[in-house]
Structure formats: structure tokens, C-alpha cells
Structure 1
């Protein structure tokens, strides 16, 4: 496959660098652009390539869009480009809000909220963007970014000015997920501020429970001494705040039930657990499961304390510890007589090599499906492993003679883990040609697609044609792929000599993809 021709660069001190056809840049051009930027206060086109984007965003350089329409056509990188906009200048934001499609504007506003860019949000409002349409959707409150709901992250980052601005624009913050998320991050005080500002309407008893969870004793004493409920005690137990608990007990009576003990277990405070046990909270094995947390040392200390108090742990405690990658606690539990034979799959999901070593040395059950588990969503993480972590797990499993199966290659391709996929194939991992080709088209992961086509060219023609039609039709996952994404993939097929499907133009015309039709005709696709 030939490298694209170099794009022409022009620059002056008063204008943005004019970068044409940035999606066609070969890697050597990237550094060339950065050299220009590094010499002065130049701005340049918001890049399509993530490689290019991360190179310059780390320099803290202002950016603008020379041709918004061209950039936005690359739909698969809309989030990346939105990040550029929300980190950039108001000039860039203005041009974006004037030219960009609705979904891109919304993405820019979401990123701007996380980063505290009230100026960009205000710019959007002045140009007719309705904040309520973007932020009043209940799903927005659980839109995950780095394991944190988006508007919770705005609070976590200290951007209460964003919350106030959005409230003035009519955004409704009355959402339980938002309240829980803010409290979980230790910002109940900010919820109280929102309540005083009239941004949220919160029951005083609920606000008291949130403050107790975060240990805000002074605020409880000053404003909520008459609002102590069962939930206040439960939240205080979860937060592990003994001083707050003692004050609550002076003011009211606690029902020392199972829920209070479970809350204390999830908080991991031994003094709070001890207080609950002394006051008669009934114990069961689920307490031990809730005691398993990301803090590995705290987890082990709690489990040892429970054992010393002659409380039995639940039978599946080893699997739970393996899922959190807590090798030290797993070894201890095994020595105490708890069965670890089923822990291998959970250990793989954790990605922790020390835990994997324990499972291997202790003859935990293994199978080829362990490779698939490397792409699972761990209970402890709430999300799958990163690509480098997955690759490390694959290498460890293969080194220790865990047999391959076709799921290993397919899962790597499906999750767009190119380095893992490439390494697996180069080390003898079996694959189903159609399944890999299909999932590469489905995800439109160009590195995987190009690598697979370039190294495995013995394709059944019907498989290729079927895949191409699915891509144009969005049949697999209804992703609404942009014309540019479809064209880029078709160009790859053409570069590698695949024959045209005579129905491609009819298919594209039927879907109203005029740009795809025009491109197909220009490159000689038969009708």
C-alpha cells in the first residue's frame, strides 16, 4: 500500500497553519507540523488522527479549525475532536457551534462541563445551543467518563461555576445518581451548597445522611441535628466516622441491624465494624464479601480481624479477592482453608500477574476461555482492562501453556486491541477468517483490518462482498458510520486489490450516501 502524498503546509504569524487533507498524513508529517507550532504562537487544524491530537495537546497549544466540515466528517474521532474544542479557544468553539452538527456540539458541551469551561458553554448558549436538551437527559448523569458520571466529575474537579451556570440555563439536577456520585466522592458539602443556592431540592434528612457519610460533623451539628434517621446511621457506618457516630448516638437511638454492619463492611473501618458487633449487629458471610475493596491492605486487615473474632468468611471469598487482584489476601484466605479452585477466571479479569501466579501454583482450574476473560468487566474496576494490561495477560497465559482458542483472537479484535490481536496471531492463536473480518468491519478498526488483510489475503469473495454491504448498510450495529469512514474502508479494500462489488453503488444510492456514490464512481466502481 503506497503512502499518501505529503500535504502542503503554509503558515504565517497571523493565521492558522493551513493543513489540507489531514486524514491522509503519513506519520513523518506530524512532527513537521509540530516543529512549526513549536516556533511560534501558531494555531492549526483540529486533527483527525488521535496520534496527532495527543502529540500537540500535551504542549498546551491553542488550536483552531481551518475547515470544520472536513474535520467533522471523520465521525469515528468526534470525541477526540470535541476534546480539542473544549480545550481550545473561544474562536474555535464559535466556529464549531456555527458549523458543527448537533451531536458534535453536544459532545463539546459535555467535555467543556467536565473541564470547567463556562466560557465555552456560554458561547454555545449565545449561538442557540439549548443546555437543557443536552443535560436534562437522565442518561447524562450516568454517562461514564473515567468511571465517574460526567456532572459528578465536574463537581469532583471543583467546577461549581459550571453547575450554577447550567442551573440558570434550566438544567434539572434532581437526580439520585448525581447525589450518590457526589457524596461517594466526598463532596456532600457541595450538595449542601447547591441546596442553599436553590439548584437542588433535597430533603433535609437525605442531606443529613449524605453529610454523615462524608464525616461533616460541624455541618450536621449546625444545620441537621433534628434530622437524624436510620439512613444517617447507615451512611455514617459506611463512611467509618466514629466521631460522627458517637455524636449521633448522643442525639438519637441506632437500630443495630444487618444493614448497618454491611455498610460498615463496605467502608472497611475496623473500629466501626467493632462498634457494630459490640452493639449486637447480626453477622453473616456477606459481610466478608463487602469487605473486599480496592484498598488491598485494608481488605486483608478486615478479613484477618473477622477471622480473629471467629466470624466465618463466605465460601466464594477467594474468587472475590482474585477479582480485585489481591494476591496477598488470596494466599492468606487459601491458607485459612477457603477454596480457591474457581479463582483463575476472576484473576484474569483483574489483570494482576501476582494473582495469576498464585492461581497457577495452586492448581486453580484453567481453560482456553481465560483469554476471553481478559476482556471481561471486572467487578473491582467496573470496566475492562486496558490494552497493555490485556496484552500482558495474554503473554502470561501463553507463556504458561494455557491453550489458545478462536475466542482469544476474536475478543482482541472486537475490543480493538490491535497490539494484543497482532501478538496473538503471530504466536499461533487460531482464528476464524470470516469472524475476524466481520468484527473488524463492525468496529471499523483500521489497524486490525489493514493488518489482517495485508497478512491473510486468502478470502472467500462472497465473505468480502457480504462484509462490504453490511458496512455500507450499517447492518451489524447501526452505528451510523460517516461517509468518510465507509470511504476509508473501501479505499483500503481497493488498495489491496479486492474486486468491486457491482451492487455497491446501488446500495449506497439506496441509502442516500451521495458522497460514497460520488467516490465509487470516481474510482471506477462498475454499476
Structure 2
């Protein structure tokens, strides 16, 4: 008498059961009267039993044991038997942080049922079932009140699982207009027939998503096409959509070519070229292609597209050295702004190539590098002997770029009292200290700017190091008090009066401010 639970397996089904009293020999380690698991020894033996009888499903008792005990208890024995599909599945599922989703993914219905009934899930379980087209799992999850939302319908539609969409809709799962964008044509048709309207710009959205079949469905149902649809397909490199739109003579504009070039979609550029020739090609397309990749720029140039100095600038912004090198080697003239742009965006390799290959000098190189704190570009320009922007030090301290300030001083850049005042007013005490220790002059403006902008640390440093000040300096913080800067201004006010013994003015405005904001 073979126990009932062993009869649902390939081994039992292969036996000749026509003889009523036929006998079979089974190793003792591979036989059990029932599938109870009360301890690890029961679990370990049941692994052998399931493997020998090739059961079609994992016994519930094994699932419960894995769920309710620490993984350290059963991990090793399952790993030792990982060649067995069911053991590998149990190990993968119950070591996962998303057990239910993993069970759905692996397709073990008995585990899905148990976990759906005994765990509190989130919407990701239904999303996974919808993605895989497992309407049976959606039924199970719905039975045990697992949540679902619009994302579940989106995932089903995106994968063309119409049977899932129908079940979800019939059982109250919400959906929205995004289904028209992500869905396969069969699902889009169904949701439209069920009353889900589409947006006015649906064609543009679908062209961007790349679903050519869905795009065709919408066009066939009366939606108007224009150049924005074609441009959307070109921008996202959706060749299938672009081909279809060109075949039905969708209107085109220069912006379509711009989009294909800027985002580096060579195949789209080639398609547009085949259909329209060079009639819409301008230097701007080459400029945009310089940040889309060398292949696009090369194709355009070899097929007669014009270019100008902006090609260099656009390439420099993104650091596309290969495009700069290609343009230079193929005769595109330099422009003095190109090197400045490279410095502005901290593209040292581009700057290096430009300046070493005859790009005209531009005093703005040191300005941009100092202003943005790009010390490597600044150091390179200084080493090469390029002119220093007159107010480079001022712009360096304004942003607190101490390393740039040090480099500029090393190369004898001009600085004066205005630079020191700017460092104090901007609150960069490290720059202020460096300036003072290295001989940059200061005057009353240093303390005035620090006090007037609430820079207590700079104010303190200036006073402790002999900084000059105007007689009315204590009035400076009052003018800058507002809702955001009040605490800093008050600190400066108190510092000047309490630590530097600077008297209040005759009108007593400072006392009024302190009383108002500090209650003293």
C-alpha cells in the first residue's frame, strides 16, 4: 500500500499497477509512511523520499519547515542536494528577501499558495505575476487580499498578457492611460474598447516608448500625425517607429534631424538621410552630433553636412575628445571660444589637445577655471604660459577655491584689497587667511563685508590679525538682517560689541534689534 502523497510522482506513475498484490523494493531511506516533518531528521529524510519518487510538487510540510525555522538549520542540506530542482527552488525561495516574488518567478504553485496565505505582501507580488502572465497566481493573490494597483495592469499590458488584463479589470484592479503607452496592441485595443480614453499626445508618447505596432494601431484609429511624432521617435532612437512613420509620409522638420544627432542615434540619421537627402542638414546638426558620438559626426561630415566652430564647443562641453580630434584632422578651423568652453566644463584632455594643436588663446580660460574651481585646467593653462584673467583671484575666492587661489599667486596673479574683502564677504576664511599670510593687502572693506554679510569667522580672523574697520561697523550687520540671515548677523553684532568693545550708535538701533531677536 503506497501512501497517497507518494502516488503524485513520476516513479509511482511508471509502475505497473494492474497486479493487485505486486511488490516493489524501495530503499528504506527513500520511503516514508507520511510526509510529516517534526524535526530536521524528518526534513532530511523527506528530501530523499521526494527525490526517489520524483514527486510533482513539494510537500507542504517541507515548505512550512523552511518557512518557520532558521535558514541555518536547513541551508546546508539543501545546498548539498542543489542538483535536485525542488531542493534548489526551496533554497532560492527561502533565502530570498522577497520569498513570494521568488516563488512566483520560479513557478512553484504550492509555495506560492502557502506564502500568499501566510504572509502580508505588497503590490510587487501581483506585479511579478502580471509580468509573467500568471493569471492563476493573480487569482491566488487576490483570494488572499494581496494589494494591486495601476502598475500591475501596466506590467501585464507591457508584456501582452491580455488574459491577465481581462482578469484584473473584471476584478476591480485600477488602470490608467499609461497602458496605451506601454501596452502591446492586443491589450491597448481591449482597454480602449473598455472605455479607457487616450491622451491627445498619445502618438508622441508611444513613438518615444518604441512600440511600433501600438503606434500603428493608434494611427489606424484616426489619430493625427505631425513632425513631433517623428521627432519623438528619433530622439529615443526607436528605429521601428521611425521607419513606420516615414513609410506613411509623416511630416518632418529640422528638429527631427537635430534630435537624432544630439542623442547619437546613427541609424535614425541614416534613415532620415535616405528619405530626405541633405535638404535639412545645417551646421547645427553637426554641432549636436558632436555630443552624440563620433560615428554620427563622421557620417554627417562624410555625407556633406556643414559644420562650424560650435561643433568644437559642443564636443568640449561633454568631453568628447574623439569628436574634437576628428573635426580638427578634417580641417575644421579653431575658434578662440572653444578652449574657454573646455575650461568652463573642466575638460582637461580637450583643453590640452586644443591648446597643443593651435587653438587661439583666450584669456577667459583662466577666468573659467578659477571661477569654477577647476584647478587642474587652471594649472595646465598657467604652466603653458597663457594669460591670466585680470580678476581671476577675485573669482577664485568668491567660490572659495583655495587651490586655484594658491596657483594664481604662484604665477604672480594680481590681487588687492577687493580680493580680500570678497573672501571675507563670501565667508571663506581659509582663503582670507591665505591672502593675509601671503601679503595681500586689506582695508576697512574686509571687516565691513564680513560684518555686513554675517561672516563671523572671517570677522573674527580679521580683527585678531589687525584688520581695519570703519567707526560705524557695528551698524553694518543691521542692514543685512532678514529672516534667513538673522542669527549670523546677530552673532556679528554681539561679537563687535561684547568682544571688541565697539559702542552702539547714538540712535540705539542695535539694542532694538538685539532685544527683538534675542530677548535680552
**Residue in 1 aligned with 2:24?**
none
Asked if residue 264 in structure 1 is aligned to residue 260 in structure 2, the reply is yes
| CA contact 2:452–2:479 (8 Å) conserved in 1 | no
Corresponding residue to 2:406 among 411, 418, 422: 422
In the alignment, the residues of structure 1 paired with residue 501 and residue 416 of structure 2 have an alpha-carbon distance, to the nearest angstrom, of 25
Q: 1:189 to 1:337 in 2, by over 3 A?
A: farther
In the alignment, the residues of structure 2 paired with residue 374 and residue 523 of structure 1 have an alpha-carbon distance, to the nearest angstrom, of 40
| CA contact 1:409–1:421 (8 Å) conserved in 2 | yes
Q: How does 1:34-73 map to 2 (within 5 A)?
A: none
In the alignment, the residues of structure 2 paired with residue 319 and residue 190 of structure 1 have an alpha-carbon distance, to the nearest angstrom, of 41
Asked if residue 313 in structure 1 is aligned to residue 310 in structure 2, the reply is no
Q: Please list the CA deviations of residues 397-417 of structure 1 after superposition, one character each: whole Å capped at 9, or x if unmatched.
A: 122122334333222222221
Shift of residue 219, structure 1, vs aligned partner = 6.3
**Residue in 1 aligned with 2:81?**
none
User: TM-score, normalization: structure 1?
Assistant: 0.51
In the alignment, the residues of structure 1 paired with residue 289 and residue 314 of structure 2 have an alpha-carbon distance, to the nearest angstrom, of 10
| CA contact 1:322–1:347 (8 Å) conserved in 2 | yes
Q: 1:347 to 1:190 in 2, by over 3 A?
A: farther
Q: Which runs of 5+ in 2 are unaligned?
A: 1-149, 152-176, 183-190, 192-196, 482-488, 504-520
Asked if residue 234 in structure 1 is aligned to residue 231 in structure 2, the reply is yes
In the alignment, the residues of structure 2 paired with residue 506 and residue 315 of structure 1 have an alpha-carbon distance, to the nearest angstrom, of 53
Q: Which runs of 5+ in 1 are unaligned?
A: 1-159, 162-187, 197-201, 377-383, 475-484
Q: 1:466 to 1:208 in 2, by over 3 A?
A: same
**Residue in 2 aligned with 1:275?**
271
Structure 2 counterpart SS, 1:366: coil
Shift of residue 372, structure 1, vs aligned partner = 0.8
Asked if residue 517 in structure 1 is aligned to residue 517 in structure 2, the reply is no
In the alignment, the residues of structure 1 paired with residue 294 and residue 282 of structure 2 have an alpha-carbon distance, to the nearest angstrom, of 18
Q: Please list the CA deviations of residues 438-479 of structure 1 after superposition, one character each: whole Å capped at 9, or x if unmatched.
A: 3213321222122222332643xxx3x2343344344xxxxx
| CA contact 1:189–1:211 (8 Å) conserved in 2 | no
Q: 1:439 to 1:341 in 2, by over 3 A?
A: same
**Residue in 2 aligned with 1:469?**
448
In the alignment, the residues of structure 2 paired with residue 409 and residue 505 of structure 1 have an alpha-carbon distance, to the nearest angstrom, of 29
User: TM-score, normalization: structure 2?
Assistant: 0.51
In the alignment, the residues of structure 2 paired with residue 315 and residue 487 of structure 1 have an alpha-carbon distance, to the nearest angstrom, of 48
Q: Please list the CA deviations of residues 268-314 of structure 1 after superposition, one character each: whole Å capped at 9, or x if unmatched.
A: 21211111122226222221112121x5xxx2111211223233333
In the alignment, the residues of structure 2 paired with residue 496 and residue 349 of structure 1 have an alpha-carbon distance, to the nearest angstrom, of 36
**Residue in 2 aligned with 1:363?**
358
In the alignment, the residues of structure 2 paired with residue 405 and residue 233 of structure 1 have an alpha-carbon distance, to the nearest angstrom, of 46
Q: 1:318 to 1:208 in 2, by over 3 A?
A: same
Instruction: Note the aligned Cα RMSD (angstroms).
Output: 3.5
Larger Rg: 2
Shift of residue 191, structure 1, vs aligned partner = 12
In the alignment, the residues of structure 2 paired with residue 346 and residue 511 of structure 1 have an alpha-carbon distance, to the nearest angstrom, of 36
Q: Please list the CA deviations of residues 318-340 of structure 1 after superposition, one character each: whole Å capped at 9, or x if unmatched.
A: 34333433222222212222112
**Residue in 2 aligned with 1:288?**
286
Corresponding residue to 1:454 among 437, 445, 449: 437
Shift of residue 393, structure 1, vs aligned partner = 0.7
Asked if residue 325 in structure 1 is aligned to residue 303 in structure 2, the reply is no
| CA contact 1:441–1:449 (8 Å) conserved in 2 | yes
Shift of residue 218, structure 1, vs aligned partner = 6.9
Shift of residue 526, structure 1, vs aligned partner = 2.5
Q: 1:285 to 1:511 in 2, by over 3 A?
A: closer
Q: How does 1:177-188 map to 2 (within 5 A)?
A: none
In the alignment, the residues of structure 1 paired with residue 479 and residue 330 of structure 2 have an alpha-carbon distance, to the nearest angstrom, of 67
In the alignment, the residues of structure 2 paired with residue 453 and residue 190 of structure 1 have an alpha-carbon distance, to the nearest angstrom, of 65
**Residue in 2 aligned with 1:353?**
348
Q: 1:442 to 1:218 in 2, by over 3 A?
A: farther
In the alignment, the residues of structure 1 paired with residue 423 and residue 330 of structure 2 have an alpha-carbon distance, to the nearest angstrom, of 47
* Higher normalized contact order (CA 8 Å, seq sep 6+, divided by chain length): 1
In the alignment, the residues of structure 2 paired with residue 510 and residue 349 of structure 1 have an alpha-carbon distance, to the nearest angstrom, of 35
Q: 1:228 to 1:215 in 2, by over 3 A?
A: farther
**Residue in 2 aligned with 1:136?**
none
**Residue in 2 aligned with 1:142?**
none
Corresponding residue to 1:204 among 186, 199, 212: 199
Structure 1 counterpart SS, 2:282: coil
Q: How does 1:40-439 map to 2 (within 5 A)?
A: 204-217=199-212, 220=215, 226-230=222-226, 231-248=228-245, 252-280=248-276, 282=279, 283-293=281-291, 299-314=293-308, 316-342=310-336, 343-374=338-369, 387=373, 390-425=374-409, 427-439=410-422
Q: 1:520 to 1:280 in 2, by over 3 A?
A: same
In the alignment, the residues of structure 1 paired with residue 179 and residue 474 of structure 2 have an alpha-carbon distance, to the nearest angstrom, of 57
